[in-house]
Chains A and B, each alone.
Chain A
């Protein structure tokens, strides 16, 4: 079928096929192309020997160099760990109270905390740490259980109302309506009083009396709250469960008791320290007040005391 012939113009043999009278010369492959092909063949022999190549029943041949993508990842992770080791070791030995005095370590802690926050905290507090109804905003200046580095770390370690942790932040507001402690009219009166504390409504004498008898122990007589009980300030602009009348009334009726896990079960101390530094850096972190620092240090020295719950 092939109709090879010598092309008279060039003296080169044709490949023997003709398409509408168009024929193709059987020129040799360009030498550079051919040599590139040979080079790739030589390369492939070496490649097959040193790298995983032949698929077997369970896995491919391993190759002389023993390379694997998983092994490469492990190696890179190890190198990264080694790179971080010094910083992490320094963080482990530095008490959190001394962190502000070491700006570089502080920066590393904040960045590490930023990453850990994305994994562990955003589910409730949001990726911007702004929280939502029932989940505190970590950027603002309002702290239920204290907002300096040490207090934040303590809260992270022991959690809030975390079962099985003796040091966890523990407090319980009675369900004034659900448990029948106060009748509905009284709850409405207390609601009036609470709203009046932040100027959102007129004063209510009955409510004030009920507040003094039932609420002031934890929320303080002026309604500014007490951090040792995690009792929120009722006279400010921030409402964890909403500041509208029906929301405040509902909070009094059924009580609120948010929880956070004790992270010492899940995270190592360095990660918790980094998380504390990150949360503290979001714009609302409180300084160690001059006097309470000594008090906090003393409190930390005495184990059973409610360490870290600043009184300010």
Chain B
């Protein structure tokens, strides 16, 4: 983040300096541990949860069944035409990011973004194999010898294993997990499964193992959007320069009390930063606001007997307030501001609307397609026949009895290929198989002289749950009786 060098001497391209963050305990580090475990557990374990839906539907709790075009999430089953539920969830996720940003700043970046989580995980692998920051720096500088080759090989193998597991877990969401696992290892799975695992293994390996903070700083659009969303009352991680500057050692401070700030320039805040940024340079896209520098600085301040919070979560407004000698304000004030409530209102309204739609949606449905070629035809006794294809949809995981009745079109009767014209009636009964759409050819006959008119196929479930649908369509007839 060199930005102060005079033009002319600064290279326009700065090669990446590898980041070897030091681990330091503290509330934020512990919160990140918790997030790491919780989010990874959800990701890896969810496909293995079972959920009994009876004999006609899969028993996987969360399943995106692309082949059969069904999306299962616990007790909810979504058909392709109900995709607006997924769209609604995505909109909620988007507004949720705004909401979180408004309330807590870049909390998504700092704690729950997959890039952050996996980078954190891979950095723990680094520490497990190579040791903490200093050992890692030494090994990085060391020439390639047997130890380095062994350690690098071991570390990258672990990277690869994690990456493979990550890619492998992804495909489990799209098929029955136990079956797919067996198929995968016996070579029976679909080629797209292997391709997906290969691609996700590669991206995890590269993004988590090597690109790391560069994804956040150079590739990700979200920090750019957030720079537009943050304002002076947004929570960010800030270095309180009026308290810290000028920097000086504890000894310098003893010699010159009052002339030296609290910052002893120990560099711990930079050492622990997962993106290698120096927060003392001010807010920057490179700061994902994970708070690890707060842990580090608070530890050091504790050791040298100074109050904590030299680096702290604060808004720029609060900083000005404190700079002017004010008391440190509670972050609750930031969280509970009108903008946050506005976002929450929109977010919650969409959520309530979705829940309402989910609670009141019909699980059976009927669509009508009328034959237009020919629009009608005459039968030998003078009756007029129109042909239709009706589709009866049963979205429940059990077979359901349904009836279709003609509404309007006096004197008309209908029949299907299965029953034959001699049993034509105004009401037909069907049993639609579980979780299926049943197409039926229906011939509707009206007496001679019937005029062209609209009518309705009325669908009604004939079981305890009830429900129904109406398919409006048209009956065509010759205009002059011939």
Contact = CB atoms under 8 A, between A and B. Distances in A.
Contacts, number: 53
A118 to B, nearest CB: 12
Nearest to B7: A9
Given A140-B379, A238-B380, A128 B374 contact: yes
Interface in A192-227: none
A244 B480 CA distance: 12
Contacts of B482: 243-244
A238 B378 contact: yes
B408 interface: no
B374 A130 contact: yes
A237 B448 contact: yes
A137 interface: yes
Contact of A237 (B7, B371, B382, B387): B382
Interface residues of B, number: 23
Given A130-B373, A283-B441, 6 more contacts: A9-B8, A126-B373, A139-B374, A140-B380, A140-B385, A141-B421
Contacts of B7: 9
Q: Give chain A's interface residue range (CB within 8 Å of chain B).
A: 20 to 34
A237 B380 contact: yes
B417 interface: yes
Given A244-B482, A283-B385, A139 B377 contact: yes
A236 B380 contact: yes
Interface of A: 8-10, 126-128, 130, 137, 139-142, 233, 236-238, 243-244, 281, 283, 287
A38 B374 CA distance: 61
10 contacts: A9-B7, A10-B11, A10-B12, A126-B374, A137-B377, A137-B378, A140-B379, A141-B421, A236-B381, A237-B381
Choose among B11, B380, B381, B420 the residue with the greatest number of A CB atoms under 10 Å from its CB: B380
A281 B379 contact: no
A140 B380 CA distance: 8
Interface in B408-467: 417, 420-421, 441, 443, 448
Contact of B373 (A127, A140, A237): A127
Contact of B380 (A233, A281, A283): A233
Contacts of A233: 380
Interface of B: 7-8, 11-12, 371, 373-374, 377-383, 385, 387, 417, 420-421, 441, 443, 448, 482
Contacts of A243: 482
A126 B371 CA distance: 14
Contacts of A10: 11-12
Given A9-B7, A283-B443, A237 B417 contact: no
Given A9-B7, A244-B482, A283-B385, A142 B377 contact: no
Contacts of A141: 379-380, 421
Contacts of A130: 373-374, 377
B187 to A, nearest CB: 23
Contacts of A237: 378-383, 448
A194 to B, nearest CB: 15
Contacts of A126: 373-374
Contacts of A128: 371, 373-374
A238 B379 CA distance: 7
A140 B378 CA distance: 7
Contacts of A9: 7-8
A245 to B, nearest CB: 12
A246 B74 CA distance: 72
Nearest 5 A/B pairs, CB to CB? A128-B373, A130-B374, A236-B380, A237-B382, A142-B380
Contacts of B417: 281
A28 to B, nearest CB: 11
A141 B384 CA distance: 11
A90 B223 CA distance: 65
A81 to B, nearest CB: 25
Contacts of A139: 374, 377, 385, 387
B382 to A, nearest CB: 4
Contacts of B441: 283
Contacts of B385: 139-140, 283
